Amino acid sequence: MNIQRFFLLFSVFLAGCSKPSERIIVATAANVQYVMKEIKAEFEKEAGKEIDIVVGSSGKLTTQIREGAPFDVFVSADTKYPEEIFKNGGSAEKPKVYAFGSLVLWSKNIPKSDLNIDSLANDKIKKIAVPNPETAPYGEAAIQILKSKNLFDKIEKRLVFGESIAQTAQYITSGNVEAGFNALSIVLSPEMKDKGNYIILDSADYKPIEQAAILLNHSEDSPKKATSEQFYKFLYSKKAKAIFQKYGYK
């Protein structure tokens, strides 16, 4: 089934579940998924309108938007992909940064006292999980920090790439890898809290993870336009900001 047909069927399904005029779809980067659950609940309570969330890596979500996926708002893990969408005419408004993310080194079994970047060169560590740097900004940051510490060439063959932050988290919490890189927001989530040990990495060793959102195009007579704009505005509200801070975003 091609991507256009999948999203057409998905749209029909949603239309049967709720009024299409009131229900929007928010494409959400995997590192923001737990935050977005809380923001979704607050928005629905305040606005009285329901939203649906589709989670994936920022790169893959961007590809789906290019191919016609019926998303209304895109909450990315970086600024690059939203800016690309804007430049290609996918939005009438420039993307806006909503938060800065933090990168962590995380392990199910390694004690926190032994967990550090240099320890990755230890031969006892056979596999290290990294989100795919081609599609996941946190993976790109992980590669940057490994290169800044002159470790990349030493451990490149031990790197295991996950499709997204979420898949990388599964590798780490299952113990399939000895250690891995992830987002602070993931390890602080109720679902992942206390599953292993982590350290927050020095942000000076990688390019700042600026995370931006963009309001995607709607025709002027689109019944979803007003709700999309309302949610996009809510994303930058004090209530939403407090939720982002709770999950370790700056």
* Binding-site residues from annotation for molybdate: 58, 165
Distance, in Å, from the CA atom of 150 to the CA atom of 132, rounded to the nearest integer, reads 20
Cα separation values, 6 from 2, 61, 69, 112, 118, Å: 6, 14, 9, 44, 45
Residues of each annotated binding site: 58, 165
Residue-wise DSSP of 5-47: HHHHHHHHHHHHHS-TTT-EEEEEEGGGHHHHHHHHHHHHHHH
Whether residue 53 contacts residue 28, with contact meaning beta carbons closer than 8 Å, is answered with yes
Nearest partner of 216 among 90, 96, 87, judged by Cα: 90
- Dig out the tokens for 124 from the structure: 């006892």
Distance, in Å, from the CA atom of 175 to the CA atom of 106, rounded to the nearest integer, reads 11
Distance, in Å, from the CA atom of 109 to the CA atom of 60, rounded to the nearest integer, reads 31
